[in-house]
Each structure stands twice: as structure tokens, then as C-alpha cells.
């Protein structure tokens, strides 16, 4: 095993530990397991940052042509967003969604390490900073909204039906906290998603001399944007709260997963990670 | 003289409120009143007096009739006849006393299982005993162990994690809907006693302010003053609903005063901010269909009662686990105490041996003449001391081994003290008269 493989394996194990310890801490009501989850996620994030930095030093701009680098960077953004939200919202329940997602994305990135994307070099910096940077942050926020949405619907059902709150549910924060996570995701995520889409279309117009090429990724991105726009409008203008935004966020996240996995790995697209 | 731990007292299970009131001891100094004295039968004491229990924890000589002594003292202090205490009190000795104290500290003997108030009261009683100088080695250790046992019970079981009163259950539910109650307002509709209690709980949990809406405005204003809130006329109920997040309703209205169709409009105007209704009125004030609306949560008195009953049943289950923890801690404490009792016995045994050896040494030296050789004297002294230590080595090792066995240490220490007469008990002249005379003796 090479040193870099070993390094990646350590990152995977740390994310795995973060993914397992937090739910275990909730179920067994052990605060130290929850603390362990936070510390191992933080350690994984630290090593992950070093890994990305080393890779950037090694390959420089050429990294932008590697699907592996994108996936790894996306996982890194997820954890970064988690730490920001954790600091702002003061709730470690976000561990439940972040560490497992980071684990899946980082592990997936290892599987696509040899894949190379056809990215025109002359636009790579602009493309990367605007299109990819903003899409990653907004996807991370949608993932947070998804986790918060699932937890919200679960807790709300228990409260509405007057069912006994079992140990795990008792440990959950309030409905208001989950709704606040959704609010954050929508109010920051939607403008960023819009910028990402605009940057993508602008880049396409420069590269291929046409704004839209009816690529499956483009189509699904437009569908996601419409749904995201609806959620943003209803939340900001009409004051949507609670169940409806939670359900919409769940649908949005599922569409994002379809876009990320289905399109990038399975369909022919200029975003494909397939060789 | 052997020391034992005693716990004499009464509680809400053994005595009615009148007895508990008459025998309450709120300010009693066991040293100043003569219960504890250096030469007396009681060497350490702590008195716990709460509205539900009065208990004496004392360390004293085994021989004294401790229960009678404490009951006399107790009745004297309260100016009541001691006979009134008979039949209402319990007396626990040794590990039973330790077990009772740990059970009380862990709130397993409280009227509301798991309520944490008793631990604070026990800490105050202990502080008083320390300040008055009547808590020494055993009481100090015992109370510290009681506090750590209570902490173990609270962290390792869920005995105190759920609400067991209607008003507290309402507050707990509010916390599951709203993150921080300090940012939210409460509305009291009507002025029922239970609603007032729930409002008091909400205020103490940090709710920003309380608005009172009542059919009689003057009464509403009076209640609002009590909560440092504001009153609104009944006609402005819908306006009040726009500004509040937690509503406690307890009017005597025969029909619903808030209906689901009215709430739709209110919700839109308040931009779908969540609202939590606690309907304590019978018949109900709030249309049950309201619970079907988004961001509206409704609990009536039966729902809350169910929460409380479920929580109580859960606490009973947790209490079993807690009793196991208490039993473990009692055993650990008794092991420590037995070890403590062994040390003085070892010291007393060696003292006694050396005393005998010195006595015999003096006799032997006298036989050596008026000016014995100092070297010879030194050799004899060493011999006497060495013999004494070697002779006592086996009994001491035996005692140490036995003291590690649970439950038997005290008995062996007691037997050893009697066998070697370490407590210098006077043996009566006629102690052997009951023996059969030996045949052929003169």
C-alpha cells in the first residue's frame, strides 16, 4: 500500500468513526460517543484538507480534470458547511448527516481516481471558482436541509400523534432548530445555486457557443433550480415553515443525488465521470 | 467500643403531615444540645429535616439503645411526647442504614420518584453538620458516597429525564417545539388553577412574557400583575393569538372558543410561526381539529396525563436499575468501613502485646541483679518486642484476610476484640458460676 493510499484509508476510517459514533451516542445516551464523533470528524476534516492541499501541490490545475478531485472536494465542502452550521446553530445533530455523506463522497472519490474529465484549460479557474465552488456549497446546504427535514418530520409526527418520545427522539433538538437549518439552507443555498447555474451556462456559451445543449445534467439542474426557487419564494415571501419546506428539501436532495450519481456515473453527459 | 451507623426517622410513608410538622427539626445543633459529645454514646450525627421526612443519621456505640435514645432527644427538642413518635418511625442499622441513605439521596424514596430536590436538602443538612463539627470520618465519607451514588443514578439511568407533572410535561413539550423559550410569549386564556401552575412553570423556564385574556378583564389584570404580564379583553383574543407562541386555555366555556377554521387566518397572519396549545379545560376550549393544521400543536389534559403516566411507568423501570447501583455502592462503602474498623484493632492488639512484653521484661531485668549489663538488657528488649510481633503476626494476617470477605469482617473484628479483651470489658465475678463443677474438685 502506498503512503497516499494509507493516508486516504485513515481519512475514511475517521469519517466512518464519526458516522457510527454519533448515532450510537444518541441511542446509548453516551455524551462521550457524541464528542468522539465530533473529534473524529474534525480530525478527518484536517487530514482531508492536507490531502487536498498535497494533491493541489502535486498536480495543480490538472486536478480540475479529475473526477476524484471533485468528489473529494465536495466531501470536504460538506464537512466545512457542517462546522459553520454547527458553530452558528450550536447543534451537533448535523453530525448525523455530514459525517456519513462525507464518508460516502470521499470513498466514492477513491473509486473514480483514474477518471479524467474533458475540461477546457483556459476556463478552468473561472469555471472551478464559480460553477463548482458555488454548487458544492449549495449541495452541502441541501444535504443539511435534507437531514434536518427527515428529523423534523419524524419528531413532528411523534408530537402530533402524541406518541411517547423514545430515547433517540428525546435527544433530538426542537422542531424550531430543524426549521432554522432549512431556513439557512434555502436563504444561502438558493442564491449560490443560481450563481452556479448562471456560471455554468455562461461557460457553456463561451465554450460551445450555445447556452444550453440539452445535456441530462443541464435538464435536471434546471428542474432542481425551479423547485429550489419555489421553496425560496414560498419561504421568503409567504413565510412557509415546518413540514412543507422539510418535504421540499427532501425531494430536492433526492433530485441532487439522482443528478450526482445517476447522471455523473450512468448517463452520457459532458459532466460524466465515465471514461 | 464498637461503632455502628444508625438511621432513625420518619417520612411521608410512615407519618401524616401533622406528625411531620410537629417533629420537624429545622435548626438543631446536635453538639450544643448534647446528642453528640466526646464521651457520649453518639460520636457523629447529621439531621435531615424536610417537609416529607425527618431523619437522624448517627454513628454511635453498638451497646446503647440508640433508637430509644434518639427518639427521646428528638421529642425533647420538639417539646412533644416521645410516645407520639412510636409507630411512625423506622430504625436502620449498619448496611441497612447506608442503603436507606443512598436510596434517599438517589431520590428513590421520594414522593415523586426521581425528583432532584432531596439531594439539595441532603447537601444542606450535611453542610450544617460539618459547620457544627458533628460530621467526622464516617459521616463525611458516607455523605460523599451518597452524593456520588446519586450522581451515578442520574447519569446511568433515565430516572429523572421525563416530566411527571402536568405543568412540567407541558413545558417539556414546549421545549421540543421551540428551541429557546426566552424568545417566546405565552398566552393564558381563563384563570384556572392548573393553568396558573403551567404558566408559572413556563415563566420559570424563561418564557419572555405572559398575556392574560379573561372574560372578566379585572380578574385578568389581577392575574397578569401576578405574572408581571399584561391583560387583554376577551374580544381581542385573535389579536393575542397573533403575538403569542404558547397558549394555555382553561375557561369554563361549554363550547370551543378557538376553532380550526379561525386558526387558518391567524396562521397566515402570523406567517406560519408555530403555535402550541395546551387545553386544560373540561369541556375543551380548543377544537381538536386544530392539531391537523401545519405548525399547530394541541395537547389537552388527557394527552398530558398520558405523557405523565407513561413517564412515571418509565421511572419505575429505571428505579430497578437505580436500586442495583445503590446496592453496589452500599457494598463498596461497607468494605471501606470494615477496613477502617480493622486498623484500630491491629493497633490495639500490638499495643496490648507490647504492654505485656514490657511488663514481663521488667520482671526479667530485675532477676539479672542491681546493675544489669546494658547490652544484655538491649538484647532482651529486642527479643520481647520481636516475640510480641511474631506471636501477633498470624492473628493479624487472619483478620486482614477475613476483612476482605464481604459481610464477615465486622464479626471477626468483634470476636478478636473480645478474645483479646481489647475493649477491657469488666468480666463479672460470677461469670463462670453457671458452669458445671468438675467432678473431684475440692
Q: Which tens digit of pLDDT belongs to each residue from B68-77?
A: 889 989 999 8
3-state secondary structure A116-137: ECCCCHHHHHHHHHHHHHHHHH
Taking residues B294-320, report their average pLDDT.
85
Contact between A202 and A244 under an 8 Å Cβ cutoff? The reply is no
Cell, residue A175: 422542531
Backbone angles phi, psi at B61, to 5 degrees: -70, 145
Cell, residue A269: 453527459
Taking residues A89-112, report their average pLDDT.
78
Contact between B185 and B243 under an 8 Å Cβ cutoff? The reply is yes
A window 49-88, beta carbon within 8 A of B: none
- Quick one: pLDDT at residue A117? 59
CA closest to B178 among chain A residues: A176
- Quick one: pLDDT at residue B149? 94
- Residues A56-90 have pLDDT tens digits of 887 766 666 677 777 788 888 888 888 887 777 76
Taking residues A201-227, report their average pLDDT.
82
Best-predicted range by mean pLDDT (A18-22, B304-308, B342-346): A18-22
- Quick one: pLDDT at residue B219? 85
Cell, residue B149: 451514588
A180 and chain B: CB distance < 8 Å anywhere?
yes
B306 and A174 within 8 Å at the Cβ level: the answer is: no
Is the model's pLDDT at B168 over the cut of 70? yes
- Quick one: pLDDT at residue B442? 36
Cell, residue A96: 448525523
User: In this prediction, what percent of chain A has a pLDDT beyond 70?
Assistant: 84
Cell, residue A256: 441532487
- Quick one: pLDDT at residue B309? 80
Is the model's pLDDT at A274 over the cut of 80? no
CA A80 to the chain's CA centroid: 10
Contact between B305 and A168 under an 8 Å Cβ cutoff? The reply is no
- Quick one: pLDDT at residue B440? 41
Q: Which residue has the higher pLDDT, B38 or B351?
A: B351
**Beta-bridge partners for B137:** none
CB nearest to B274's CB, from A164, A175, A244: A175
Is the model's pLDDT at B255 over the cut of 90? no
A159 and B306 within 8 Å at the Cβ level: the answer is: no
Q: Which residue has the higher pLDDT, B412 or A198?
A: A198
Contact between A91 and A173 under an 8 Å Cβ cutoff? The reply is yes
A247 and chain B: CB distance < 8 Å anywhere?
no
Taking residues B158-187, report their average pLDDT.
81
- For residue B175, list chain A residues with Cβ-Cβ distance below 8 A: 174
Best-predicted range by mean pLDDT (A187-191, B22-26, B346-350): A187-191
Question: Considering chain B, what is the average pLDDT of its residues?
Answer: 84
Alpha-carbon Rg for chain B in angstroms: 34
- For residue B306, list chain A residues with Cβ-Cβ distance below 8 A: 162
- For residue B291, list chain A residues with Cβ-Cβ distance below 8 A: 160
Cell, residue B366: 530485675
- Residues B387-399 have pLDDT tens digits of 888 888 888 888 8
E-assigned strand segments in B116-207: 185-189
Cell, residue A122: 483556459
Cis peptide before B397 (omega within 30 of 0): no
Under 8 Å CB-to-CB from A181, ≥6 apart: which residues?
A85, A89, A91, A94, A144, A145, A147, A148
A29 and B158 within 8 Å at the Cβ level: the answer is: yes
Backbone angles phi, psi at B258, to 5 degrees: -125, 120
Known catalytic membership, residue B355: no
CB nearest to B297's CB, from A159, A241, A244: A159
Q: How far apart are CA A73 and CA A77, in angstroms?
A: 6
User: In this prediction, what percent of chain B has a pLDDT beyond 90?
Assistant: 22
- Residues B88-140 have pLDDT tens digits of 999 999 899 999 999 999 989 887 778 778 888 999 999 999 998 898 888 99
> Are β-strands B3-11 and B53-61 bridged in parallel, bridged antiparallel, or unpaired?
antiparallel
Chains A and B form CB pairs within 8 A to the count of 52
Cell, residue B264: 387558518
Q: How far apart are CA A100 and CA A112, in angstroms?
A: 19
Backbone angles phi, psi at B214, to 5 degrees: -140, 150
The percent helix, strand, coil of chain A (3-state, each to 5) is 85, 0, 15
Taking residues A243-264, report their average pLDDT.
88
Q: Which residue has the higher pLDDT, A182 or A263?
A: A182
CB nearest to A176's CB, from B162, B178, B303: B178
- Residues B196-238 have pLDDT tens digits of 777 887 888 888 889 999 888 888 888 888 888 888 998 888 8
CA closest to A180 among chain B residues: B179
- Residues B401-442 have pLDDT tens digits of 777 665 566 677 778 877 888 776 555 555 454 544 444 433
At residue B337 the predicted structure's pLDDT band, cuts being 50, 70 and 90, is: confident
- Quick one: pLDDT at residue A136? 85
Taking residues B275-286, report their average pLDDT.
87
- Quick one: pLDDT at residue B38? 67
- For residue A244, list chain B residues with Cβ-Cβ distance below 8 A: 294
Classify B5 as helix, strand or coil: strand
Of the listed ranges A106-115, A247-256, B298-307, the least confidently predicted one is: A106-115
- For residue B299, list chain A residues with Cβ-Cβ distance below 8 A: 162
Amino acid at each position: 500500500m502506498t503512503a497516499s493510499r494509507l493516508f486516504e484509508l485513515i481519512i475514511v476510517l475517521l469519517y466512518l468513526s464519526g458516522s457510527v459514533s454519533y448515532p450510537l451516542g444518541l441511542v446509548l445516551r453516551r455524551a462521550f460517543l457524541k464528542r468522539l464523533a465530533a473529534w473524529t470528524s474534525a480530525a478527518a476534516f484536517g487530514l482531508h484538507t492536507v490531502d487536498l492541499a498535497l494533491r493541489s501541490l502535486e498536480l495543480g490545475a490538472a486536478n480540475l480534470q479529475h473526477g476524484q478531485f471533485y468528489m473529494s472536494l465536495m466531501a470536504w465542502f460538506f464537512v466545512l458547511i457542517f462546522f459553520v452550521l454547527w458553530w452558528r446553530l450550536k447543534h451537533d445533530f448535523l453530525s448525523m448527516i455530514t459525517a456519513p455523506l462525507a464518508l460516502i463522497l470521499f470513498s466514492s472519490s477513491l473509486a473514480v481516481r483514474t477518471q479524467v474529465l474533458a475540461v477546457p484549460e483556459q476556463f478552468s479557474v473561472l469555471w472551478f471558482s464559480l460553477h463548482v465552488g458555488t454548487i458544492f456549497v449549495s449541495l452541502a446546504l441541501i444535504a443539511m436541509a435534507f437531514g434536518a427535514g427527515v428529523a423534523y418530520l419524524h419528531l413532528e409526527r411523534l408530537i402530533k400523534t402524541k406518541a411517547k418520545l423514545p430515547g433517540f427522539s428525546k435527544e433530538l433538538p426542537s422542531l424550531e432548530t430543524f426549521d432554522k437549518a432549512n431556513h439557512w439552507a434555502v436563504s444561502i443555498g438558493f442564491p449560490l445555486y443560481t450563481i452556479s447555474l448562471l456560471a455554468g451556462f455562461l461557460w457553456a456559451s463561451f465554450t460551445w457557443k450555445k447556452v444550453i445543449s440539452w445535456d441530462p445534467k443541464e435538464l435536471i439542474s434546471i428542474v432542481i433550480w425551479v423547485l429550489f426557487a419555489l421553496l425560496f419564494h414560498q419561504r421568503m415571501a409567504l413565510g412557509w415553515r415546518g413540514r412543507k419546506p422539510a418535504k421540499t428539501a427532501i425531494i430536492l436532495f433526492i433530485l441532487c443525488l439522482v443528478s450526482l450519481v445517476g447522471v455523473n456515473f450512468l448517463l452520457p453527459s459532458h459532466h460524466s465521470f465515465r471514461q | 467500643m464498637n461503632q455502628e451507623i444508625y438511621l432513625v426517622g420518619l417520612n411521608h410513608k410512615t407519618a401524616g403531615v401533622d406528625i411531620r410538622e410537629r417533629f420537624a427539626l429545622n435548626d438543631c445543633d446536635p453538639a450544643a444540645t448534647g446528642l453528640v459529645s466526646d464521651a457520649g454514646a453518639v460520636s457523629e450525627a447529621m439531621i435531615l429535616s424536610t417537609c416529607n421526612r425527618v431523619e437522624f443519621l448517627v454513628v454511635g456505640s453498638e451497646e446503647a439503645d440508640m433508637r430509644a435514645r434518639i427518639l427521646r432527644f428528638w421529642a425533647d427538642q420538639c417539646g412533644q411526647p416521645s410516645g407520639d413518635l412510636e409507630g411512625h418511625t423506622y430504625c436502620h442499622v449498619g448496611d441497612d442504614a447506608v442503603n436507606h441513605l443512598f436510596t434517599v439521596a438517589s431520590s428513590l424514596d421520594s414522593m415523586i420518584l426521581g425528583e432532584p430536590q432531596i439531594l439539595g436538602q441532603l447537601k444542606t443538612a450535611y453542610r450544617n453538620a460539618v459547620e457544627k463539627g458533628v460530621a467526622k470520618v464516617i459521616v463525611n465519607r458516607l455523605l460523599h458516597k451518597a452524593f456520588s451514588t446519586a450522581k451515578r443514578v442520574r447519569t446511568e439511568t433515565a430516572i429523572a429525564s421525563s416530566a411527571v407533572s402536568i405543568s412540567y410535561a407541558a413545558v417539556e413539550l414546549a421545549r421540543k417545539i421551540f428551541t429557546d423559550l426566552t424568545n417566546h410569549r405565552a398566552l393564558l386564556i381563563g384563570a384556572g388553577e392548573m393553568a396558573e401552575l403551567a404558566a408559572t412553570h413556563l415563566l420559570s423556564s424563561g418564557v419572555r412574557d405572559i398575556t392574560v385574556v379573561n372574560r372578566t378583564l379585572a380578574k385578568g389584570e389581577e392575574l397578569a400583575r401576578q405574572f408581571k404580564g399584561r391583560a387583554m379583553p376577551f374580544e381581542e383574543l385573535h389579536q393575542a393569538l397573533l403575538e403569542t407562541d404558547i397558549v394555555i386555555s382553561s375557561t369554563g366555556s361549554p363550547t370551543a372558543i378557538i376553532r380550526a377554521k379561525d386558526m387558518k387566518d391567524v396562521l397566515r397572519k402570523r406567517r406560519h410561526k408555530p403555535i402550541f396549545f395546551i387545553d386544560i379545560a373540561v369541556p375543551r376550549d380548543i377544537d381538536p381539529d386544530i392539531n391537523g393544521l401545519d405548525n399547530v400543536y394541541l395537547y389537552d389534559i388527557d394527552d398530558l396525563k398520558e405523557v405523565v403516566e407513561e413517564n412515571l411507568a418509565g421511572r419505575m423501570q429505571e428505579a430497578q436499575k437505580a436500586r442495583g447501583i445503590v446496592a453496589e455502592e452500599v457494598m463498596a462503602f461497607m468494605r471501606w468501613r470494615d477496613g477502617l474498623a480493622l486498623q484500630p484493632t491491629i493497633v490495639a492488639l500490638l499495643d496490648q502485646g507490647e504492654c505485656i512484653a514490657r511488663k514481663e521484661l521488667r520482671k526479667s531485668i530485675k532477676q539479672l541483679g542491681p546493675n544489669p549489663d546494658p547490652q544484655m538488657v538491649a538484647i532482651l528488649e529486642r527479643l520481647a518486642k520481636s516475640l510480641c510481633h511474631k506471636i501477633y503476626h498470624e492473628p493479624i494476617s487472619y483478620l486482614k484476610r477475613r476483612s476482605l470477605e464481604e459481610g464477615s469482617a465486622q464479626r471477626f473484628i468483634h470476636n478478636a476484640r473480645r478474645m483479646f479483651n481489647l475493649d477491657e470489658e469488666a468480666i463479672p465475678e460470677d461469670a463462670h458460676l453457671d458452669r458445671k463443677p468438675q467432678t473431684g474438685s475440692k
